[in-house]
Chains A and B, each alone.
Chain A
Amino acid sequence: MKAAVIVFPGSNCDRDVQVALQKRMGTAPHMVWHRETDLPKTDLIVLPGGFSYGDYLRCGAMAANSPIMRAVVAAAKAGTPVLGICNGFQILIESGLLPGALMRNRDLKFICKDVTMRVETTDTIFTSHYNNGEVITIPVAHHDGNYFADNETVKRLEGDGRVVLRYSDAEGNITDDANINGSVNNIAGIVDEERRIFGLMPHPERVIEPLHRGTHGAYMFDSLLEALA
């Protein structure tokens, strides 16, 4: 099981996710610079969080057009799983691998805090080690995480069970108060039709050991290890 982490100018969670992958999977991932045009042989592609290209134009828009992304899109379409965290989620959307848009947070604030969310499906290679309906705590750190899609798209996402994570209160209730950024239906993370591409705003790599005050992110990497080993 060998992953590849794509590093863009302005990525700042690439090292954290590198450590998380190494710790939970036992193998150090490839670190691939955005100027590369080919991917090494890999079982999983990770687009890390950060502020690629300074968030110029729209978050993720420039990164989506960088040389390596052609290889990432081709690999994703050929079935290689992709995990996009925060800015990585924004890049997945800008490259058309996931539908919708991530807009400025409803209250215009940069939100950096621990957030509770409900696991909506364990039927993905990213979430098989959670329980359906489980409430987990994972930190977020973003300015543009307000998920939006047209009604048709939202209906399709919901109908196909492709909403993986939803902002909730500590009891798992999906309320407007718990909706930190104004996302449609409290959406925090979605998968593509094949359930192989996962984009989420929270940062699982920041909660993988007790020193982090929590380990809820670790199970995501454990799920992947079991599915891809």
Chain B
Amino acid sequence: MKARVHVTLKNGVLDPQGKAVHHALQGLGFAGVEDVRQGKFIEIELEGTDVEKARSDVKEMCEKLLANTVIENYDIDIVA
């Protein structure tokens, strides 16, 4: 089983890297870009087939290490 975790900055937390990327995209002529937020994508290989257990394990991983919940949200996707 595979878990895919997206870690993103919370709304209201300034994202200077996203801003810089936005600026660069505008510089390249992509005029329609309204905002850019940058985050992390983490892929985790898991043993077993219990999707609910996997979800709760990965949630704990996010709380303890993968995300800094002061500034970041996380989103978990379990893929069979």
Contact = CB atoms under 8 A, between A and B. Distances in A.
A182 B14 contact: yes
B72 to A, nearest CB: 9
A108 B16 CA distance: 7
Interface residues of A, number: 19
B53 to A, nearest CB: 22
B26 interface: no
A219 interface: no
A166 B73 CA distance: 29
A58 B68 contact: yes
A108 B24 CA distance: 14
A113 interface: no
B70 interface: yes
Interface in A1-30: none
A58 to B, nearest CB: 6
Interface range on chain B: under 10, 10 to 19, 20 to 34, or 35 or more?
Answer: 10 to 19
A150 B68 contact: no
Contact of A57 (B20, B66, B70): B66
Contacts of A94: 68
B65 A65 contact: yes
B13 interface: yes
Nearest to B67: A58
Contacts of A104: 16-17
B20 A148 contact: no
A95 to B, nearest CB: 11
Contacts of B65: 57, 61, 65
A216 B71 CA distance: 33
A137 to B, nearest CB: 26
A107 interface: yes
A149 interface: yes
Given A103-B16, A106-B16, 9 more contacts: A58-B68, A65-B65, A103-B14, A103-B71, A106-B14, A107-B16, A146-B16, A149-B70, A150-B70
Interface of A: 57-58, 61, 65, 94, 99-101, 103-108, 146, 148-150, 182
25 contacts: A57-B65, A57-B66, A58-B68, A61-B65, A65-B64, A65-B65, A94-B68, A100-B70, A101-B68, A101-B70, A103-B14, A103-B16, A104-B17, A105-B16, A106-B14, A107-B16, A108-B16, A108-B20, A146-B16, A148-B13, A148-B70, A148-B71, A149-B70, A182-B14, A182-B16
